[in-house]
């Protein structure tokens, strides 16, 4: 096998970058490429291949969906934390005051901290009934999220989770029933398992996509919303996106858009 830093190995890795970027319309930032290269090499070697034989399999159409998901998992960043954006969580709680049984979709939810933060904040605000549905392209992230088991966090109250041994907390069963997860690639056409949400939130995912792909994703998210529903994204993530059915709420941090009621 070629050494890791041999020019031929760098060439085949560059080819893989092009393949992955074209297939998933993502951009893998230069600062992440070394880490991705090591992770991809470890993965293909664990499957008894190298980047060349893996490419031969790809050309023969023998790379299955699960393997592509794993490659995408390795290529993307899954960093997250509880209450990462307090303004976004507060905005959701505010919007939910007008809705009896709100349905909230969190797209690119990673290991689940964002959906559970929303649930915890809604419970603390006295909201007894809601549904939060998290989707992520990574099956590994979704498995972790479904467990509902995390290191303890000071802002997650006992209404939502119970302390366990080893400084951990587990979300109560009734919370895990209201907070559901699904492996889903937002660039694919399959509908998500939460139709017509009142609120869609996506944060720190769009930044990995080129402008035209971001706009495609935002159009999709807008079309999923119930009429009058809201789309929330991180500040600066929507660039100059506009959509005839969506009105940008001025001066909002995070970005908030509302879908027209006449669609």
Ligand X SMILES: C[S@@+](CC[C@H](N)C(=O)[O-])C[C@H]1O[C@@H](n2cnc3c(N)ncnc32)[C@H](O)[C@@H]1O
The answer to whether 237 contacts ligand X (rule: CB under 6 A) is: no
The answer to whether 205 contacts ligand X (rule: CB under 6 A) is: yes
Q: How near is the Cβ of 160 to ligand X at its closest, in Å?
A: 18
Interface of this chain with ligand X, residues 157 to 186, rule: CB under 6 A: 185-186
**CB of 9 or CB of 82, closer to ligand X:** 82
Q: Which two tokens stand for residue 183?
A: 């492996």
Question: How far apart are the C-alpha atoms of 117 and 83, rounded to whole Å?
Answer: 6
**CB of 89 or CB of 243, closer to ligand X:** 89
Count of residues touching ligand X (by CB under 6 A): 21
Q: Which residues pair with 231 in a beta bridge?
A: 200, 257
Q: How near is the Cβ of 235 to ligand X at its closest, in Å?
A: 12
Binding residue for ligand X (CB under 6 A) from 19, 39, 99, 187?
187
**CB of 76 or CB of 238, closer to ligand X:** 76
The answer to whether 141 contacts ligand X (rule: CB under 6 A) is: yes
Binding residue for ligand X (CB under 6 A) from 144, 204, 233, 243?
204
Interface of this chain with ligand X, residues 73 to 132, rule: CB under 6 A: 76-80, 84, 108-110, 114
Q: Select the span of 9-17, 137-145, 244-252, 253-261 touching ligand X (CB under 6 A).
A: 137-145
Q: How near is the Cβ of 125 to ligand X at its closest, in Å?
A: 21
Determine the residue with CB nearest ligand X: 108
Q: Enumerate binding residues for ligand X (CB under 6 A).
A: 76-80, 84, 108-110, 114, 135-138, 141, 185-187, 203-205
């Amino acid at each position: 096998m070629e050494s890791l830093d041999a020019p031929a190995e760098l060439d085949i890795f560059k080819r893989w970058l092009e393949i992955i970027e074209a297939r998933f319309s993502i951009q893998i930032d230069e600062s992440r490429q070394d880490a991705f290269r090591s992770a991809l090499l470890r993965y293909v070697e664990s499957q008894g291949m190298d980047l060349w034989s893996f490419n031969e399999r790809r050309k023969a159409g023998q790379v299955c969906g699960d393997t592509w998901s794993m490659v995408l998992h390795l290529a993307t960043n899954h960093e997250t934390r509880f209450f990462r954006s307090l303004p976004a969580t507060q905005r959701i709680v505010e919007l939910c005051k007008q809705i009896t049984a709100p349905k909230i979709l969190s797209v690119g939810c990673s290991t689940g901290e964002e959906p559970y933060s929303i649930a915890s904040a809604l419970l603390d605000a006295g909201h007894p009934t809601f549904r939060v549905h998290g989707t992520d392209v990574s099956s590994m992230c979704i498995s972790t999220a479904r467990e509902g088991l995390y290191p303890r966090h000071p802002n997650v109250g006992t209404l939502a989770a119970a302390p366990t041994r080893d400084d951990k907390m587990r979300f109560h069963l009734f919370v895990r029933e209201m907070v559901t997860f699904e492996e889903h690639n937002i660039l694919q056409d399959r509908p998500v398992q939460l139709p017509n949400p009142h609120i869609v939130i996506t944060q720190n995912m769009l930044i990995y996509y080129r402008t035209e792909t971001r706009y495609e994703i935002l159009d999709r998210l807008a079309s999923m919303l119930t009429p009058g529903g809201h789309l929330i994204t991180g500040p600066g993530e929507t660039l100059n996106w506009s959509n005839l059915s969506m009105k940008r709420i001025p001066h909002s941090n995070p970005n908030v858009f509302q879908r027209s009621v006449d669609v």
